[in-house]
């Protein structure tokens, strides 16, 4: 670790994660799955549920799925994006939902700082008089970290965050965990659809991982969201189902230049994201011997039900054997340099002492 920090300081975080994985297991290096159901089960009608937003993570889809499972889809869930003039609308929605037992989601609370004091009074009023609040009522809040957010609301609420996964494997795992078996098997062309879905997920994971490397990855860091991936998958399914043959050029332009490229502002980044997708959205994808990387670690799934085990079967072996050898090599090199430094220091001191004695004599 010391040698890595001395030679490549930007690699220290990756080295620490690999060291932890090799020492106590991969489990301690991956973020736990997003459990919105558990947060809802721990809440009450007077307890606000607070999403702490982070770049690249969007909880809206998870909230909509939970609302559908609890019978709150449609008019049962009111989503309001706070901003100029939205405060009175949010107050009326909260007042009505407390009586009917509906849900209210107030998005981007950090953008309505002047109205947050009224939100604090509303939450305090609910907790002081819980009998006036319907048992099925829930208030959901989303906000970036902000010093202006009311402290009492934070203290009395349930905080939930959904950090974007770190690493290709973790990103692919989350993507396929979010896909239901029914959705995965819904295509009339399963072979083509499953390969295209995996290529889309791999492309999404790759462009997110490139952000780690600063200007080497992207000239400007872009906050792609999970909604971009959902939109790309919807487009892929539409073209697979409706077209006799896959329109590769149309899909490349639609996904890289519009769905994801709509957030890209730098000209060179636009060329990069288009070039990356064209490596995967091509006729070679349909071949059995197609690999997404030169080391042949990542490949499209075979026929069968949705599984996550095939995503990276060789990486754990790589981390546990290959990288241990690298760590050992680094350690030996460090010890070698350390010994050379000690020998040089001793020889220099001996030479200086001898020279000093000769000078005195």
Ranges in the chain annotated CATH 1.10.8.720: 13-29+165-286
Q: Which residue has the higher pLDDT, 27 or 117?
A: 117
Among candidates 216, 176, 170, 163, which has minimal Cα distance to 52? 163
Read off the DSSP letter of residue 287.
Answer: S
Q: Is the pLDDT of residue 309 over 50?
A: no
Q: In this structure, are residues 157 and 151 in contact, taking their beta carbons and an 8 Å threshold?
A: no
Q: Give per-residue pLDDT as tens, 63-96.
A: 888 888 888 888 888 998 888 788 889 889 999 9
Q: Is the pLDDT of residue 48 over 80?
A: yes
Percent of the chain with pLDDT over 90: 11
Residues 6+ positions from 157 with CB-CB distance below 8 Å: 47, 48, 49, 50, 123, 141
Residue 332: other Cβ atoms inside 10 A: 10
Residue 181: other Cβ atoms inside 10 A: 9
Q: Give per-residue pLDDT as tens, 196-251.
A: 999 999 999 899 888 888 888 899 888 888 888 889 999 999 988 888 888 989 98
Q: Is the pLDDT of residue 30 over 50?
A: yes
Average pLDDT over residues 109-136: 88
**36-161: CATH topology:** Rossmann fold (3.40.50)
Q: Is the pLDDT of residue 317 over 50?
A: no
pLDDT for the residue 316: 39
Q: In this structure, are residues 230 and 61 in contact, taking their beta carbons and an 8 Å threshold?
A: yes
CATH ID of 13-29+165-286, from 3.40.50.1820, 3.40.50.720, 1.10.8.720, 1.25.40.10: 1.10.8.720
Q: Is the pLDDT of residue 313 over 70?
A: no
Cα angle vertex 174, ends 172, 178, to 5°?
115
Binned at pLDDT 50, 70 and 90, residue 353 comes out as low
Mean model confidence pLDDT for the chain: 81
Instruction: Count, in order, helices (H) and strands (E) of the chain.
Output: 15, 5
pLDDT for the residue 26: 75
* Residue that the structure tokens 């995503």 belong to: 311
Average pLDDT over residues 129-135: 88
Burial letters 298-326, b for 16+ CB under 10 A, else e: bbbbeeeebeeeebbeebeeebeeeeeee
Q: In this structure, are residues 219 and 212 in contact, taking their beta carbons and an 8 Å threshold?
A: no
Averaging pLDDT over each range in 222-226, 341-345, 349-353, which range is the top one?
222-226
Q: Which of 71-75, 178-182, 328-332 has the lowest mean pLDDT?
A: 328-332
Q: Which of 34-48, 177-191, 196-210, 335-349 has the lowest mean pLDDT?
A: 335-349
Q: Which of 28-32, 98-102, 168-172, 233-237 has the lowest mean pLDDT?
A: 28-32
Q: Is the pLDDT of residue 295 over 80?
A: no
Residue 281: other Cβ atoms inside 10 A: 23
Binned at pLDDT 50, 70 and 90, residue 319 comes out as very low
pLDDT for the residue 312: 45
Binned at pLDDT 50, 70 and 90, residue 311 comes out as very low
CA distances from 332 to 122, 152, 335, 339 (A): 63, 54, 5, 10
Q: How many CA atoms lie within 13 A of 38 on its CB side?
A: 7
Read off the DSSP letter of residue 312.
Answer: S
Q: Is the pLDDT of residue 315 over 50?
A: no
Ranges in the chain annotated CATH 3.40.50.300: 36-161
pTM of the predicted model as reported, rounded to 2 decimal places = 0.66
> Where do runs of H (alpha helix) occur along 116-167?
116-128, 151-156
């Amino acid at each position: 670790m010391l040698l890595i920090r001395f030679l490549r300081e930007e690699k220290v975080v990756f080295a620490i994660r690999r060291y932890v994985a090799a020492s106590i297991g991969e489990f301690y290096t991956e973020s736990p799955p997003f459990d919105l159901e558990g947060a809802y089960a721990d809440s009450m009608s007077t307890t606000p549920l607070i999403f702490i937003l982070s770049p690249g993570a969007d909880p809206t889809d998870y909230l909509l799925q939970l609302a559908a499972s609890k019978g709150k889809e449609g008019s049962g869930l009111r989503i309001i994006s706070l901003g100029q003039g939205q405060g009175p609308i949010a107050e009326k929605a909260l007042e009505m939902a407390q009586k009917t037992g509906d849900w209210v989601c107030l998005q981007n609370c950090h953008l309505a700082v002047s109205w947050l004091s009224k939100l604090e009074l509303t939450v305090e009023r609910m907790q002081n008089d819980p009998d006036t609040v319907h048992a099925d009522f829930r208030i959901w809040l989303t906000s970036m970290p902000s010093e202006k957010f009311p402290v009492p609301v934070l203290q009395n609420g349930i905080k939930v965050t959904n950090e974007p996964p770190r690493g290709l494997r973790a990103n692919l795992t989350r993507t396929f965990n979010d896909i239901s078996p029914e959705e995965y098997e819904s295509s009339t062309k399963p072979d083509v659809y499953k390969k295209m879905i995996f290529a889309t997920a791999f492309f999404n994971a790759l462009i997110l991982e490139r952000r780690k490397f600063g200007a080497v990855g992207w000239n400007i860091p872009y906050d792609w969201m999970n909604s971009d991936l959902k939109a790309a998958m919807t487009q892929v399914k539409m073209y697979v189902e409706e077209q006799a043959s896959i329109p590769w050029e149309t899909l490349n332009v639609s996904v890289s230049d519009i769905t994801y490229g709509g957030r890209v502002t730098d000209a060179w980044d636009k060329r990069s994201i288009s070039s990356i997708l064209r490596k995967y959205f091509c006729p070679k994808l349909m071949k059995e011997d197609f690999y997404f990387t030169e080391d042949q670690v990542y490949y499209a799934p075979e026929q069968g039900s949705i599984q996550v085990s095939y995503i990276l079967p060789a990486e754990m072996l790589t981390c546990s054997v290959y990288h241990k050898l690298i760590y050992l090599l680094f350690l030996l090199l460090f010890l070698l340099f350390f010994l050379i430094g000690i020998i040089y220091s001793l020889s220099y001191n001996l030479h200086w002492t001898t020279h000093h004695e000769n000078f005195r004599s």
